């Protein structure tokens, strides 16, 4: 049996056509919504990429950042581009080379100052030994010239020993070994206690000398 013919008006008002139109409208709206969502995701990705590019560009050196890359590689051969890259690399390495050279110079200065400090300490130690030897020899000469050493209140005073002619007339010796005294009595045993200060305890005396 042949199908029945229908008019355009009947086909337009049929339930099947209404369902098809409703389905197409829903499909179009769904496609539009998903396209908008994908566009939004793409915009977020582009923003993230741009932010990461700016951060990476900020971290590199200034000469490399300000270099016109598009103009450099626009119409150059690979050899010229390689030369430009080497030049840019040398420019970026210059600050690091300067820092390394500065640190090396500072280390050299520190080592020189340490050697100078050690030399000064040795000079001070030698001068102190010479002063002790000269003082000891002076006390011995004063005691020999003035007679035997006397005990009690008649011992030689420190000011008298400093003002003695033997102490100020001796030149600075060139060799400290000849100035070291061989007698058993210490030079401080000839000195009277300091004036207006009281007697120095033996423990404090040993800590000072």
- Is the pLDDT score of 203 beyond 70? no
pTM over 0.85: no
Instruction: Find all residues with CB under 8 Å of 158, minimum gap 6, and list them.
Output: 191, 192, 194
Q: What percent of the chain has pLDDT over 90?
A: 6
171 φ/ψ angles, rounded to the nearest 5 degrees: -75, 165
Of residues 108 and 142, more confidence is placed in 108
| Whether the Cβ atoms of residue 149 and residue 155 lie closer than 8 Å to each other | yes
- Locate the domains of the chain by residue range: 25-59, 78-208
Q: Which residue has better confidence, 173 or 11?
A: 11
- Cα-based angle 175, 179, 180 (whole degrees, multiple of 5): 115
- Digit-coded pLDDT (tens) for 142-185: 776 655 544 444 445 555 554 554 444 444 444 545 544 444 54
pLDDT category of residue 49 using cuts at 50, 70 and 90: confident
> Does 156 or 74 have the greater pLDDT score?
74
Measure the N-to-C terminal CA separation of the chain; round to a whole number of Å: 138
Q: Quote the pLDDT of residue 168.
A: 47
Are the C-beta atoms of 146 and 192 separated by less than 8 Å? Answer: no
What's the confidence (pLDDT) of residue 183? 47
Q: What is the pLDDT of residue 154?
A: 47
Q: What is the pLDDT of residue 99?
A: 73
What integer pLDDT is reported at residue 32 of this predicted model? Answer: 92
In the block, tokens 């200034």 appear at: 62
For residues 187 and 206, give the distance between their C-alpha atoms in angstroms, rounded to a whole number: 14
User: pLDDT digit string (tens) for 122-145?
Assistant: 888 888 888 888 888 888 777 766
How high does pLDDT run on average in the chain? Answer: 69
Between the alpha carbon of residue 39 and those of residues 28, 42, 43, 135, the distances in Å are 16, 5, 6, 98
């Amino acid at each position: 049996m042949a199908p029945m013919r229908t008019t355009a008006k009947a086909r337009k008002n049929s339930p099947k056509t209404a369902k098809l139109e409703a389905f197409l409208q829903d499909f179009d709206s769904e496609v539009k919504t998903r396209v908008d969502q994908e566009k939004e995701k793409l915009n977020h990705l582009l923003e993230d990429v741009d932010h990461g590019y700016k951060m990476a560009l900020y971290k590199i050196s200034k000469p490399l950042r300000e270099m016109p890359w598009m103009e450099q590689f626009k119409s150059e051969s690979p050899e010229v581009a390689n030369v430009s890259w080497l030049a840019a690399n040398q420019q970026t390495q210059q600050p690091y080379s300067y820092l390394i050279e500065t640190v090396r110079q500072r280390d050299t200065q520190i080592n020189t100052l340490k050697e100078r400090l050690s030399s000064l300490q040795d000079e001070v130690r030698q001068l102190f030994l010479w002063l002790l030897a000269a003082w000891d020899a002076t006390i011995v000469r004063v005691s020999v010239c003035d007679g035997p050493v006397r005990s009690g209140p008649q011992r030689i005073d420190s000011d008298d020993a400093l003002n003695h002619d033997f102490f100020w007339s001796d030149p600075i010796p060139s060799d400290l070994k000849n100035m070291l005294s061989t007698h058993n009595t210490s030079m401080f045993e000839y000195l009277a206690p300091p004036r207006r200060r009281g007697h120095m305890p033996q423990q404090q005396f040993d800590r000072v000398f």
